Amino acid sequence: MNELVGRYIHQVGRYLPPKERAEIEAELRSQIEDQLDDRFEGTPTQADVASVLAGWGHPYQIASSYRDEQYLIGPDIYPVMMMALRYGWLIIPAIVLFLNIFAELTSSQPATFLGLVVEPLLAALYATFIFSGVVVLIFAIIQHLGITLKEAAAPFNPVDLPEIDDPSVVDRFESAFGITLGAIIMLVLLYWLQVGGLTLRFNLNDPGDVIPISAFWIAFLVVIIINIIITHLIAMRRNRWGVGTWLTETILETVGVFGMYFVLYKPIFERIMADNPSLTEVPLLTSTPEIIAITGAILTLISRSSRFIKLWNHRTTHTTSFFIQADSR
């Protein structure tokens, strides 16, 4: 076949994913050859081939027709992302303003207009910008991983409507708020990672007194939070909580509580004890971080176990009903 066809197909292949390139090139070559055979008898001239290829269009356009639409944030998860951003845009500035003003008022140095107004406003703006970037990055990663919230369209069937007391129903506002809260906590963790430890002053130029903490445990908590967010999105995609997804999030939250022991409870307590050595003589006080972590894990398990039981019973009930209906036929 004409050398011009080979050049055309080669250019199309340059814009295709490597895994699909050979198959698409073979299919395209066959279609072009069939079209040339149908339109021209014998051996087509260079001009004949060029006219056919011109009708096909630019190689990039042909390659694009073989690819799915690509988005940074797809239309199926974009509304959830915007809901999370709106929550954050309301919460983040208020928290940062309060903490910076509080730190300025409780500082040993005299309060100034710069410290009470200008720096808190700049810190709030900067934190909001970083928060927005973190949220967009999380959803971009989710988009890249192929996690979507849109199910294939199906005919509406009233019988499929969830029961009024169905424990598996997903509260989308609750999930969106959970995603927002997770992103806020992640923002704080990334800030602590940047400044090298715990501080309530959100100012990279002057973070104030910093309590050193392990970068490993900060990264560990960030990974936990990302997985919790993904679990929420999977539940929203399915439009229901299952036993597996609820159990997964319960485990992640419980593990996260123990991660907080190394990132928050233990470093703060060690600083308090270092500043007040006499407290080491108080019974059980030295075990306070462990007690807080264990108590938090137990409360998490208790608060989530009731819904887990409901999900399990609901699953069992519906499975039994299905078999009864199947047997009755």
Query: Could you tell me if residue 140 is inside a domain?
Result: yes
pLDDT at 251: 93
Residue 294, classified by CB atoms within 10 Å of its CB into exposed (0-12), middle (13-18) or buried (19+), is: middle
Asked if 123 and 216 sit in the same domain, the reply is yes
- What pLDDT digit, counting tens, does each position of 253-304 carry? 999 998 999 988 888 888 888 888 877 777 777 788 888 889 988 998 998 8
Cβ atoms of 9 and 29 closer than 8 Å: yes
For tokens 């910008």, what's the residue? Answer: 129
Overall domain count for the chain: 2
Do 46 and 94 reside in the same domain of the chain?
no
Tell me the pLDDT tens digit for each residue of 114-161. 777 888 888 888 888 888 887 888 777 767 665 544 444 455 445 555
Q: Does residue 28 sit in the same domain as residue 170?
A: no
Are 56 and 91 part of one and the same domain? no
Q: Are residues 34 and 96 in the same domain?
A: no
Same domain, 15 and 123: no
Residue 161 placed within a domain: yes
Same domain, yes or no, for 251 and 123?
yes
89 and 138 inside one domain:
yes
pLDDT, position 274:
83
Q: Are residues 137 and 107 in the same domain?
A: yes
Last residue of a domain, one of 65, 89, 110: 65
The answer on 39 and 107 residing in a single domain is: no
The answer to whether residues 157 and 25 belong to one domain is no
Provide the pLDDT for residue 12: 84
Q: How far apart are CA 243 and CA 311, in angstroms?
A: 6
Q: Which residue, among 8, 1, 143, has the nearest Cα to 62 in the 3D structure?
A: 8
Q: Give residue-wise pLDDT tens across range 46-98.
A: 888 888 888 888 887 787 777 665 667 766 677 777 877 888 888 888 887 88
Does residue 103 lie within any of the structural domains?
yes
On whether both 57 and 94 belong to a single domain, the answer is no
Note whether 170 and 241 are within 8 A (CB): yes
Domain boundary, last residue among 65, 94, 111: 65
pLDDT bucket at 329, cuts 50 / 70 / 90: very low
Q: 34 lies in which domain range?
A: 3-65
Asked, for residue 73, whether it belongs to a domain, the answer is no
Does any domain span residue 83? yes
Residue 25 placed within a domain: yes
Q: Kindly state the tokens that stand for 203.
A: 């100012």
Is the residue at 198 inside a domain?
yes
Instruction: Tell me which of 31, 65, 99 is where a domain ends.
Output: 65
Q: Does residue 212 sit within a domain? A: yes
CA 321 to chain centre: 36
